[in-house]
């Protein structure tokens, strides 16, 4: 197995992608060689979701307070560091914002563990001109670890996720490892919102299945667009305050299960929290299907190294 340490794990979207072994909209995403041996998240409700779906190895608490509990060795370090200060929907404080500056925890963890590969994820807005200084500093810090860095933006809808979510993945490879080759786009025709959630239209509200929705009226706040049936969904966001987008044909906002579908969570993934907290967890997550494609590319790096060593 390839051992993995996970930081800023949330409810487990990236971790599920790295583990594989799930189905989404009829497609099978095979189990990988990765084994997550240690994970961390500060939000207790997200930890509860993680334990229910991924495993009990997650440690709840501020990353800075549990850093000394990190394993001494692991093959891979992964983490989607908080993005609210970089997002175009945030305050645009860049890495100087309190939350987005937490990427330095990934830097420290990589420095301590010296994994073969690390993966850090953030919003596509990090590549915008106004975040140029933040990007430069992040690259300097990652490069300072002695790793070769590959970074690029991925449009989730190109990889089997029914959502126009854009994210940046930084992949660092240790100097003795082969170069990372990013996964190629997988589908010429994106999965539409109707293809993703159409079968749920006639389903009554079901709390156990997380098929529950906000009753918030239209307001000037975020998230008030209607889905378009024949296009992928809009970005599922964490800070909508109940103003998550509306269904394309039904007179209601989309349900948490529909949001989870648009984020590419399998229906077997359970969310034990109430509506608002579930909304936050789903919006904060890395889409598992996108994470799986990145994970397979990381797996290939490690396999090529093992092959070269014969």
Residue of 166, 176, 151 lying closest to 308 (CA atoms): 176
CA atoms of 289 and 13, how far apart (whole Å): 9
Residue of 221, 188, 264, 4 lying closest to 113 (CA atoms): 4
Q: How far is CA 215 from CA 198, 226, 242, 243, 259, in A?
A: 20, 14, 8, 9, 15
CA atoms of 85 and 92, how far apart (whole Å): 5
Identify the burial level of 267 via C-beta atoms within 10 angstroms of its C-beta, where 0-12 means exposed, 13-18 middle and 19 or more buried.
middle
- SS3 of 261-279: the string is HHCCCCCCCCCCCCHHHHH
| Cα four-point dihedral sign 123, 124, 127, 129 | negative
Q: Across-strand partners of 186?
A: none
Give 3-state DSSP helix, strand, coil % of the chain, rounded to 5.
Answer: 35, 20, 45
Catalytic residue IDs = 83
Q: Which two tokens stand for residue 304?
A: 């090529």
End-to-end CA distance of the chain: 17
Q: Which two tokens stand for residue 295?
A: 């994970």
What does the DSSP assignment read for 159-203?
GT-SB--EEEEEEEEETTSPPP-PPPP--SSPPPHHHHHGGGTTP
């Amino acid at each position: 197995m390839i051992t993995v340490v996970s930081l800023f794990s949330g409810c487990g979207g990236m971790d599920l992608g790295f583990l594989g072994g799930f189905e989404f909209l009829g497609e099978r995403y095979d189990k990988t060689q990765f084994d997550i041996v240690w994970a961390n998240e500060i939000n207790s409700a997200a930890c509860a979701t993680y334990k229910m779906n991924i495993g009990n190895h997650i440690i709840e608490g501020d990353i800075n307070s549990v850093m000394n509990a990190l394993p001494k060795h692991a093959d891979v370090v992964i983490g989607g560091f908080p993005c609210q200060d970089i997002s175009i929907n945030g305050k645009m404080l860049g890495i100087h914002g309190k939350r987005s500056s937490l990427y330095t925890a990934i830097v420290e963890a990589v420095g301590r563990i010296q994994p073969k590969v690390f993966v850090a994820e953030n919003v596509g807005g990090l590549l915008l001109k106004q975040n140029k200084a933040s990007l430069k500093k992040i690259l300097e810090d990652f490069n300072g670890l002695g790793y070769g860095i590959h970074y690029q933006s991925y449009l989730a809808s190109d990889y089997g996720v029914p959502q126009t979510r854009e994210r940046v993945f930084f992949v660092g490879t240790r100097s003795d490892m082969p170069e990372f080759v990013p996964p190629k786009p997988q589908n010429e025709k994106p999965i539409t919102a109707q293809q993703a959630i159409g079968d749920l239209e006639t389903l009554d509200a079901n709390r156990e299945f997380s098929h529950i929705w906000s009753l918030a009226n239209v307001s000037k706040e975020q998230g008030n667009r209607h889905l378009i049936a024949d296009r992928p969904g809009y970005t599922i966001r964490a800070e909508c305050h109940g103003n998550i987008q509306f269904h394309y044909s039904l007179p209601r906002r989309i349900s948490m299960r529909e949001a989870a579908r648009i984020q590419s969570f399998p229906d077997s993934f359970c969310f034990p929290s109430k509506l608002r907290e579930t909304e936050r967890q789903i919006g904060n997550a890395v889409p598992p299907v996108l994470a799986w494609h990145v994970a397979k590319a990381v797996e290939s790096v490690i396999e090529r190294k093992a092959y070269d060593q014969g």
